[in-house]
Chain A
Amino acid sequence: MTPVPPRLLRAAYFLAAPLFCMVLFWRALSVWFLNDDFAWLGLRLQVHDVSSLITALFQPQAEGTVRFISERLYFLIFSTLFHLDALPFRICALATWFANLTLAAAIGTRLIQSRLAGPAQSRAAGLLAAILWTLNAGAPQTLMWASSYNQDLCALCILLAFYARLRWIETDRRRWIAIEWAAYLAGFGVLEVMVMYPFIAALHALCVARKRFFGTLPLLAPSAIFLAVHFFLIPKTTAPVYRVAFDARLPSTLLNYLQWTLAPVLSGEPRGTWHTLGAVSAPLVGAALLAFTAWRLHRRDFVPLFFIGWFVLFLIPILPLPEHLTAYYVTIPSLGLAWLAGWAIVSAVRSEGPRAGLALALAAAYFAGSWYQARLYENWLYARSNRLRIVVESADAASRDHPGSAILLAGVDNDLFGSGFQDSPFRLIAAEKIYMVPDSEKTVEARPELGGVTPYVITPRNALEMIDRGRARVLDVSTNSVHDITRTYAEALRHDPQIARRDFVDVGDPAYAGQLGDTWYKAEGGARWMPKSATVRFSGIAPSARTLHVIGFAPPPILASGPVRITLSGNGREIGSAVIKSAEGFDLSFPLPQTLVGNPEIGLTVTLDKVLHLPGDNRDLGIVFGTFSIR
């Protein structure tokens, strides 16, 4: 038999894992944006000069993070160059991942070499580890959701730094130390887990190259500085989902991530045959890896400890977040167990006994379950993001065809709304203003902390007025075939007995100006300041209405001298009052008094007990209001 040329073998070694990844995630190139992506894509709209660029790059966001490379620069550059084309984002994510797989295979091969019968076997183990890793529970999200690119890029920084460390140990060439430090320091602009790298380097030295241990200590300095800045200088979010908790949930959180790593299918829906397969195989895979580790330790080989340590150390930063269990968090840690498994499988297959059969069976279970889960997630993500893409592109096209017109969307369901409506995707297109057709806002579940559904609400009366004046188009987005139904919808509105009702006012939206009294100031950025007193007009109270809802914001300057009291009255009768103490958005509800029922119209008066004066502004400024509604 003719031997395979070494060049072909080398090419196969480098290409196998990326090609496998491409086969698994071929649809990734067609996936569009979703949710948080739109917040990042909108970052470029905030950049006008050097000062705003620095703010955009370094102001802490979300849970108090400053990932200026993997989130800020990444989205700023790509959205500026490619706007809403997701393909370059996907290509970048895949290219980074291919580099990760190549480095993972190379590192695995180096760590395992001399522990197997020959270089071919250690290469096979490294390659197998890379393939197992691309099947990890976090890979689908990391590769197909642009907001998760930080995991992908951080893995590259870590692997490049560690690869350079191995090469430095092998060759003693100082350029490898420079590469390690460059990748390591860059990693702090990518993802916070980079702080664990010095411990990885130290653990490796302890397990494999003890003479190099003290050389790892300088790596601790940047980590310590980063941690100090992160904990003491960056304000933290109060959102419950990101609340750090060192409590009895730590072990269960660790167990949860371990299960997802051993059987990625367990990160999906907790039911069905595939889930059962995962529930059975996960403990078996875990037991097999432990047995392999024990066998190697018995032979005084500590490399398996390094692999397990990799998994645990990179999980440590996320273990205190029990309310934010997310599959993509295992992307980096899972590589440790992938190396261990690749080595164990090659070692078992070499033995040709029952161990080989068991190893192959467990590998097949992991492979099949992961493949299924990746497909499931990919299909889900594709369907959701593609539907949203069609809606956004259709709204963009309609806005360009009808300049200055608002767009009313009919057929927005909970899935579509939850795909990103609350992350403001429409500010990225030419649309003047986007609404959901009246009443459809009641069929979606909006997150109040993201502003609720209010920005999309319009009354039937205002909708019809805008359509009749040629200032609005209606798109039916209930299916992927979007239709302009402006005429038909206007016909339906014209016959709606509720058309004359005025139960809602968005004071920041000029469309509602007709319901506002004279004292309101000009709308600014979707809201409107009031002086000491202002009025809003409503229809008479509908039989089903029970409460008055008021949403607004008390700016810090007015609270500097103490709380502010808001008093509301309807047609001269007091409805209620509230004291605002903190400079946050408020959402107030007041029961409607029976004495107001039967009045043909309600004139709502809002009165404050004080106003403020800002330098250079001679207005009496009270509070900023958003919406009033009678429900």
Chain B
Amino acid sequence: MRMISAIALIALVAMAPACRTRKKARPQAAEDDGQLASIVNVADPHAAIQLVRGFYPVENDAWRWTTKNFTVMLRPPSGSAQNGARLELKFAIPDVIFDRVGPMTLGARVNGVDLGPETYSKAGEDAYTRDVPASALQGDAATFDFSVNRSLPPGDKDQRELAIIVTTVGLVLK
């Protein structure tokens, strides 16, 4: 009997926290202004919807691998429809990729306008910067299709197609 009482007491002690209540989670709507960002930090989880395709999940809270072809949607900054803007893609070519595939050529297109290729002949951090004509920035959003001429094909260690590591991409006024 003593043991049963002890067990019951212990069980009651354990149940005491049940008296508390926890507020249920609810989505917040305050930040949903229907506006896309002009500059996207690929590690920002809220900006992920602008990384249309060709991006892998964030790594080290800082960057994402891409496939050979990847697409980003950006909001043209105000005034760019008249004066154009500058596109800047910050990225890195890791040694492991460069040692296997050599120099890489990166290019981009937006609304039918070819922004031209650029070849990168060394590993490390770099940037792809181009002036974007005003004619390509009419509207609330511009979709940039990037392509890299070489990538590491899926292998045993990593079954992803890997091209470059991107940190930010954005449009700024010239």
Q: Are B46 and A495 in contact (CB under 8 A)?
A: no
Contact with A along B36-50 (1 / 0, CB 8 A): 100000000110111
Whole-angstrom CA separation of A87 from B18 in the bound complex? 7
- CB of A102 within 8 A of CB of B7, answer yes
**Contacts A87-B17, A95-B11, A98-B14; is A487 near B73 (CB within 8 Å)?**
no
Q: Are A410 and B27 in contact (CB under 8 A)?
A: no
- Are A491 and B31 closer than 8 Å at their CB atoms? no
CB distance from B113 to the nearest CB of A (A): 14
Residues of A within 8 Å of B7, CB to CB, are 98-99, 102
CB of A18 closer than 8 Å to a CB of B: yes
Cβ 8 A contact of B27, one of A10, A475, A478, A495: A475
**A105 → B minimal CB distance (Å):** 10
Closest B residue by C-beta to A13: B6
CB distance from A14 to the nearest CB of B (A): 4
- A22 interface residue per 8 A CB criterion: yes
Query: What 1/0 mask marks residues of chain A from 87 to 109 whose CB sits below 8 Å from any chain B CB?
Result: 11001001100110010001000
Q: A95-B10, A102-B7, A485-B32 are in contact. Are A393 and B25 (CB under 8 A)?
A: yes
Q: When the two chains form their complex, are residues A22 and B14 in contact, meaning their CB atoms are under 8 A apart?
A: yes
CB neighbours of B60 from chain A (8 A): none
Count of chain B residues with Cβ under 8 Å from any Cβ of A? 38
Residues of A within 8 A of B45 (CB): 411, 476, 478-479
A393 CA / B50 CA spacing, docked (Å): 26
A91 to B11, CA, bound (A): 8
Shortest distance from the beta carbon of A442 to any chain B beta carbon, whole Å: 8
- Kindly state whether residue B141 has any CB partner on chain A within 8 Å: yes
Near B by CB (< 8 A), chain A positions 186-242 give: none
- Interface flag for A384 (CB, 8 Å): no
Nearest neighbor of A495 in chain B, beta-carbon distance: B141
Nearest residue, chain A, Cβ from B141: A495
A-contacting 9-mer, from B51-59, B78-86, B91-99, B116-124: B51-59
Task: State A99–B29 Cα separation when bound (angstroms).
Answer: 47
Q: Is B140 an interface residue (CB 8 A)?
A: yes
Q: CA separation between A498 and B52, bound complex, in Å?
A: 10
Shortest CB-to-CB span from B88 to chain A, Å, is 20
The 8 A CB mask of A63-77 against B (1 = contact, 0 = none) is 000000000000000
Most interface-central of A483, A486, A494 (chain B CB within 10 A): A483
The reply on A489 being an interface residue by CB < 8 A is yes
A165 to chain B, nearest CB (A): 15
Compute how far the CA of A39 lies from the CA of B25 in the bound complex, rounded to whole angstroms: 22
Also in contact, A476 and B14, with CB within 8 A (given A102-B7, A483-B27, A491-B140): no
Q: Are A14's CB and B49's CB within 8 A?
A: no
- B46 contacts across to A, CB distance below 8 A: 476, 478-479, 483, 485
B1-30 residues with Cβ-Cβ distance < 8 A to A are 2-3, 6-7, 10-11, 13-15, 17-18, 24-29
Partner of B10, one of A18, A106, A413, A476: A18
Give the distance to chain B from A410, nearest Cβ to Cβ, in Å: 6
Contact present for A443 and B32 (CB under 8 Å): no
- Are A496's CB and B26's CB within 8 A? no
Q: Is B139 part of the contact surface with A, judged by Cβ < 8 Å?
A: yes
Are B28 and A410 in contact, with the CB atoms below 8 A?
no
- Additional A-B contacts beyond A98-B7, A485-B49 (5; CB < 8 A): A95-B14, A102-B7, A413-B57, A483-B27, A496-B73
By Cβ-Cβ distance, the 6 closest A-B pairs, closest first, are A478-B45, A487-B34, A495-B141, A95-B11, A393-B25, A14-B6
